[in-house]
Structure 1
Amino acid sequence: MAKIKEKKIVKFSEYISYIETLQETMSGSLWYRGSNNSSHHLIPGLYRHKKRSGMLDLSNLESELITRFQQRSMPFTNRSFNDPWEAIFYMQHYRLPTRLLDWTENPFIAFYFAIGNSAYDIAADGELIFTTDATVWILDPVRWNRHALSHQTYDRGILLTIDEEMKGYVPSTSISKMNNHPVALYGTHNSPRIVAQRGVFTVFGQSASGMDELYTSSRFPKDCLIKIVIPKENIKSLRAALFSYGFTESVVYPDLDGLALEIKRFFEFEV
């Protein structure tokens, strides 16, 4: 079984060069996901519950979360959430656990999420010592989808929630009727942050395994998922390089929260 290709990068120029090479050799668009911990699997929040792990139990948990959110959110929004997809995209925006996993079409945004919030210790001289390798995952969403839905002889590209193939992923669908593998789809751009971050998604079905695990166990096409590893000892210099290119908090979070984070960092208050 093929293992996921891993590429270690220590300079920002190496990252740019590698992305350019991939974009030239791949036939379609690529998606990116940054993680501040290279050991984390590609699993959505709903499937990370500490106590509830069986798929039937997780399906019931999803229904409970959606119902509670619909009931309790009414004083804070004028949205009715008649469409279950709209509900979980909105829930995802506010960091509630869903079957969605966030990706971006912008490789620099993913790089920010990989290293902009890395875990660190503070040395006696005040210097930051980063403690965990970071990762940028790279996904070919078209090739992934065609394999994930090969049992339906699917030969198109990235999905929309209105597509026939998405009936097997609709929130609150009976778990027995869900498709097995996660698929890549365009979601609702329901906030300025999603627009700024070029946000896209994968949505999971019956399998609670990470996409990185499924890549091997389900024999996905070679290199439709790639892992870039960012060594912890290089994060400091890579962050400086990324920020010098203008990819700062106020770009990633185009609101007062983002501006506040950027000002704090500028005046050397670590965020």
Structure 2
Amino acid sequence: MPKLVSQVRQICLEKSTLVAKVPEKQITKFSEYVKHLETLQGDFPGAPLWYRGSNNKDHNLVPGLYRHQKSTSSDEIGKLERELIARFRQRSMPFSDKVPQDDWGVLFYMQHHRIPTRLLDWSENPFIAFYFAVANAAYTKDVGGVITYTKDAVVWVLNPTTWNKHALDHVSYDGGILLTIDDEMKGYHPESTVGKMNNHPVAMYGIHNSPRIVAQRGVFTVSGQMVSGLDELYDQHRYPRKSLQKLVIPKENISALRESLFLYGITESVVYPDLDGLALEIKRFYKFEV
């Protein structure tokens, strides 16, 4: 009997480990990506899905503020955030008349200008995320000018509603994607003490403060006390299966997938609807690798 109990426990442990691991799938053709998107919508009919592209599959889903080399604890990160916000408020006014006055507005404005924050960018558009995964892929170039991509890329897929329900299960949250005005967001308010914030990251709608964020269908997750990435927390805290997924793009397939994406019209001037985007598009079109 003890042996049987031990075997049952081992089976349960193996199943638990299997469920906890972020589901992963390789994408080698653009048609596979489109087909998988259709499958996902079938798995979650009517539910919104969010996407995040990265040129390195090994990068965790950690916001910029939490990547500081020295400030690593939640208390240190909280102090660092308050200092960054104060410095930005003090020194940004001469450069723009659009700097918002409210705390959330400042945080989103900082994120837009690439100052490290607790925010992590996502997109409601799966093709925009695919662009960010492959268009900026890491590569080397030999003496003959031949490009070789060196790292697998990735598109992460998040079910924000399912994620939020689990992240806020301590308050029996049964809503959907959060807004800055929601009561649940008080536990993530900028300039709060991080040590008093909620633990898990949550999915939220942000402020559309630029044409780029509108074009990119930008949305966000915001982190709290826990300094681990969403992918790590998924493993550690038994998030519902498929609330987060990982679509890996092998480096040997990136070149062909880039061409497919551009042929479908997802180009630099679409993602960046300004002169910088147009310049990038012209450079790529005339074979200046960007």
TM-score bracket, shorter-length normalisation: over 0.9
Q: Partner amino acid for 2:105? A: E
Matched, 1:20 2:38: yes
CA distance in 1, matches of 2:116, 2:68: 9
Shift of 1:176: 2.6
Distance 2:73 2:111 in 1: 22
Offset at 1:80?
5.0
Corresponding residue number in structure 1 for 2:144:
125
Q: Find the counterpart in structure 1 of residue 108 from structure 2.
A: 89
The equivalent position to 2:28 in structure 1, one of 3, 7, 10, is 10
List runs of 5+ in structure 2 lacking aligned partners. Answer: 1-16
> What is the Cα-based RMSD across aligned positions, in Å?
0.8
Residues 103-133 of structure 1: per-residue CA shift (max 9 Å, x gap):
0000000000000001100123312100000
CA contact (8 A) 1:70 1:81 kept: no
**Cα distance in 1 between the residues matched to 2:160 and 2:236:** 18
- Size of the aligned set, in residue pairs, is 271
Cα separation, 1, equivalents of 2:219 and 2:109 = 13
Task: Give distance in 2, aligned partners of 1:263 and 1:198.
Answer: 23
Is the Cα–Cα contact under 8 Å of residues 142 and 158 in structure 1 kept in the other structure? yes
Per the TM alignment, residue 54 of structure 1 is displaced from its structure 2 partner at its CA by 1.3
SS of 1:73's partner is: helix
Give the Cα separation in 2 of the matches to 1:80 and 1:182. Answer: 26
Q: What runs of 5+ residues in structure 1 fail to find an aligned partner?
A: none
- Higher deviation after alignment, 223-232 or 49-58: 49-58
Quote the Cα distance in structure 2 between the aligned partners of 1:139 and 1:79. 31
CA contact (8 A) 1:36 1:119 kept: yes
Q: Normalising to structure 2: TM-score of the pair?
A: 0.92
Q: Using the alignment, how far apart are the partners of 2:237 and 2:132 within structure 1?
A: 28
Does 2:55 align with 1:47?
no
Counterpart position of 1:183: 202
SS in 2 for 1:82: coil
Please give the secondary structure, in 1, of the residue aligned with 2:277.
Answer: helix
Q: Which amino acid aligns with 2:199?
A: N
Task: Give me the whole-angstrom Cα distance separating, in 2, the residues matched to 1:166 and 1:245.
Answer: 38
Does the CA contact (< 8 Å) of 2:137 and 2:151 recur in 1?
A: yes
Which shifted more, 138-147 or 174-183? Answer: 174-183
Deviations 1:138-183 (A, max 9, x none): 0000000000000000001000000000000001111232000000
Tell me the distance in 1 between the aligned counterparts of 2:109 and 2:83: 16
TM-score when scaled to structure 1? 0.98
